[in-house]
Every structure is written in structure tokens, then in C-alpha cells.
Amino acid sequence: MKCPVCNHENGDAQFCERCGSNLTQTPSLVKNPESAAASEPEYTRWSSTQASSSQASVPSNTPSVSIHKEQARESTGTNDHASAGDNSSNQWNNIVQNEKVQQAKEVSKQYLSYFLSVLARPYQTMKTVGDQHSLNGWLTMALIAVLSSTYFLITFSRIGMDGLFIGGFIRPLLFTVIILIASIALMYAILKIEKITFRPKTLVAQFGTLLVPAVVSLVLANLFIIISYSIAIALLVVSYIIIFVALNSVLFQYPLNRTKAAIDSMYSVLIANVVVFFILYRLLGEVIIGLIGMMLSPFGRL
């Protein structure tokens, strides 16, 4: 006989072998399912309850597993993004460095062509330069400072003087920078006193243009140290004289003395020259005088 509750075949038994239902009361159970459920043994209801609870607990673990997987994917994605960011930053740094190198090459090429064109006619070129040539003016002044310091460094190394780097390179470098900046400041002050309209960048470009021959003089001075101290020191002096000539040439190409100033333009320019000469004497005079004394001594000539 088949059990109407669990559909188990029991033969001629009065009770179901699986669920224990009374097979003799089948019609009443079929007619009243609620009473059949009530007559269901306790262990059967407990087993069905446990099975349903176990089935319900299985999906509850699924979100936690998916969350862990999502976190793992997010951490992996974060690491991938970090490595990609590092690679992109390295590529960007390489691009910036390459751009700086290319810009330096372009500036050097432009300055070389500018230098050669100015060397033939410095005064005529000075009248045509503008703000865009101010960088070339600063580069020219930087070359003058470095070349003058190199001259003293080579000279001190040949005569075996102490304090080679400080006294032979750093100090002359700072002295020359002070002289050049003081010259620009004095020109600026005089033009302001004269109430003349001018552009500071153009002023730097004009002054730097007239200093190009001083660069050539210093290059020759460094080369002639090996041949003759007398020629080398003469070329060094010429390079500093060019600074005075450039200062006066820039000032006098402006229309000075247009207003009734308290002091005449001639005296203001003279004061500027005296100040530059005093700075030159105080900063470099002792070194140059010492080199001239060494040159005039019997052991200083080559």
C-alpha cells in the first residue's frame, strides 16, 4: 500500500515504514489534510524543519563569498591602477626631461647664431634688440662671470696658491656677478631719474648685446695663460673695460636731460661709472694687482 503522506510503498503494513503514518485512516487523512499534518510524527516534522532551515542557510553564505571576491577584485584593480600610475608618471618624467633637453638645445643654437651676428656689429644690433633678447643678455653676463672665474682658477692653479676653489673660482664669480648687476641697477636708476620711458627687459638685452666682445676677450685670456701672463692679463682688463663702455653706450642712446632735473645727466652718468669702478677696484683690484706683480717679476714671465 502506498502512503498518502510520503508516497512510500509499504505492502500490507498498517503504518508507513518511512513516516509512520496510519495507513488504515487514509480516507480521513486525505479528506482532512490538517489532521494528517497533526498526526504526523514529531521526528518527521523536525527533520523537514531542519532540511528547510539548512536550505535557507545556504544562500545566506553566498553574499559574503561574493563580497570577498569583490574585495579581492578591487584590491587587484587598485594594484593595477597603482602600477599603471607609476608607469605613466615615469613616462611623463621622461617626456619632461626630453623636452627640457630639446629646449636647451634650441636655446644654445639660437644663442650661437645671435652671438655670431652681434659680434660683427654690437652697437648696431643693440639698437634693434627687444624684450625677446633679454635671455640672451643674461646668458652673455653668465658667460662673463664663469669665464672670468675660470681665468683666476687656472692662474691660481699654475702658481700653486692655496684656497684654489674658493679664492680662485667662487669669489671672482660672485665679484663679477655683483659688478654686472650693479651696472644694470645704476642704468635703471639713472633712466628713472631722467623720467625716460623704457622697458627693463630691453635694457638688459641692450646691455648684454654690448658685452658679447667681452666674452671673446675672456676666452682669449683663458687661452693665453698658457702662452703669456702679460697678454692674458691685458685681455682680462679689456673685458672689464668693455663693461664700462657698454654701460655708457646704453645710457647715451637714450634722450637724456629732457627734464629740469636736480643734477645734469653728465654727472649722473659719471657717478654711475665711479660707482662701478669702485666696486671693481674693491672686489677685483687686489687680485689683478697681485697678478700684475707676479707677471713683472722675473719668475712670473714665461
Cβ proximity of 284 and 292 under 8 Å: no
pLDDT tier for residue 27 given thresholds of 50, 70 and 90:
very low
Whether residue 49 is predicted with pLDDT greater than 90 in this model: the reply is no
What SS3 state is found at 297? coil
Instruction: Indicate the length of the chain as a whole number.
Output: 302
Model confidence pLDDT, tens digit, residues 80-133 = 555 666 666 676 666 666 766 766 677 777 888 888 888 888 998 898 898 888
Chain-centre distance for alpha carbon 284: 35
- Quickly list H helices, 121-228: 122-126, 134-159, 164-165, 171-193, 200-210, 212-224
Model confidence pLDDT, tens digit, residues 5-22 = 887 777 777 777 777 777
Whether residue 212 is predicted with pLDDT greater than 50 in this model: the reply is yes
Q: CB under 8 Å to 149, separation ≥6 — which residues? A: 168, 169, 170, 172, 173, 176
pTM of the model: 0.60
Q: Looking at residues 216-225, what average pLDDT do you find? A: 92
